[in-house]
A = this chain, B = another copy of it.
Amino acid sequence: MSKKTNAAILIIGNEILSGRTQDTNTSTLSLWLNSLGVSVQEVRVVPDVEETIVNSVNLLRNTYDYVFTTGGIGPTHDDITAESISKAFNLEYEIHKEGYKILEAYYKPGEFNEGRQKMIWMPRNSKLILNPTSGAPGFRVENVFCLPGVPSILKSMLGGLKNDIVGGKPILSLTINLRTVESEIAKSLTKVQQNNKDVEIGSYPFFQAGKLGVSIVIRSDDQDKINTCNSQILEFVKKKKIEVVKRD
C-alpha cells in the first residue's frame, strides 16, 4: 500500500483513564479523517500531567503527519493543554488577541471574567479553530490541532477544519455480515488476504439477538480492490453455505 497520510490522536484527561468517562472522540475523529483520506495510526490517552503531555505531543508530531489533541482547554486548574503545547513547541504562552476579541464579543458585558480569559491563553501565533457551539476556540500549531473534550463541541468544530487537512483518497470500507463463527472461515479468509495484500481485511465476531455472527470489514482507497475481495469472500461463503445477514 502506498504511504498514506496519517494521524495520531492524543486524548488528554484523567476522566478517561479513571474509567469515569467513555471516550467517543476517537471514533468521531477517525471516521472524519478517513473521509478526508487520512488514516489514524495511533491513539494515546494520557493524564493531566504537563511533562507527559509535552513528551507525547513532541513524539507524535514528529512521527505522524497530523496530531489531534482532545481535552484540557477549558477554564479550570486541570486544563493544561495550551500551556503544555506552548512548552512542547517552545513558544510563549500568552493571550491570543484575535481569540480575546471573539470571546469579548461572545459574552455579555462583565461576563468575560478571569476564568473565561484563561481559555484564550495559547501558544504564540496559534491559528484559531472556531467553535460555533460555545465560543471558546481551539487552536492549531503547525501539524497539531487542539480540540475540546466535550464531544458535541468537538464535532461542531470539525466542519471548519476541512480545508486545513491535506489527505489522500478517502478510505472506503465494505462490511459483510455472516451467520457463522470466525473459526469456520479463518482459513478461507486468510487466503483472500494473501491474494489481496494491499487491502485491509478485518474479522470481528458479534452477538445479535442471541445469535453469533462475524463482520468482515474490507478497507482500501480503491473501490475496485474492495469489490475484488468482496467477490472472493462471497465465493467461499456460498460454497460453505453460510448465510449473509443484515445488521444495523
Please give the residue numbers on chain A whose beta carbons come within 8 Å of chain B beta carbons, in ascending order.
11, 13-24, 26-32, 34, 39-48, 74-78, 113-116, 118-119, 149-150, 152, 171, 173, 182-187, 189-190, 193, 200-205, 207, 217, 219
Are A22 and B27 interface neighbours, CB within 8 A?
yes
Report the Cα distance A78→B21, complex, angstroms. Answer: 29
Are A115 and B19 interface neighbours, CB within 8 A?
no
Given A15-B202, A23-B23, A44-B44: 16 more A-B contacts, CB < 8 Å: A11-B43, A13-B202, A14-B202, A14-B219, A15-B217, A16-B43, A18-B31, A21-B27, A22-B27, A42-B45, A42-B46, A74-B203, A76-B185, A78-B193, A78-B202, A149-B204
Per assembly, the copies of the chain total 2
Partner among B31, B42, B152, B183 whose Cβ is within 8 Å of the Cβ of A207:
B152
Are B21 and A75 interface neighbours, CB within 8 A?
no
Q: Which residues of B contact A219 (CB under 8 A)?
A: 14, 18
**CB closest chain-B residue, reference A27:** B19
Can you list 13 residue pairs at the A/B interface with Cβ under 8 Å? A15-B217, A16-B26, A17-B43, A19-B29, A22-B24, A41-B47, A42-B46, A76-B189, A76-B203, A78-B193, A113-B183, A118-B186, A152-B207
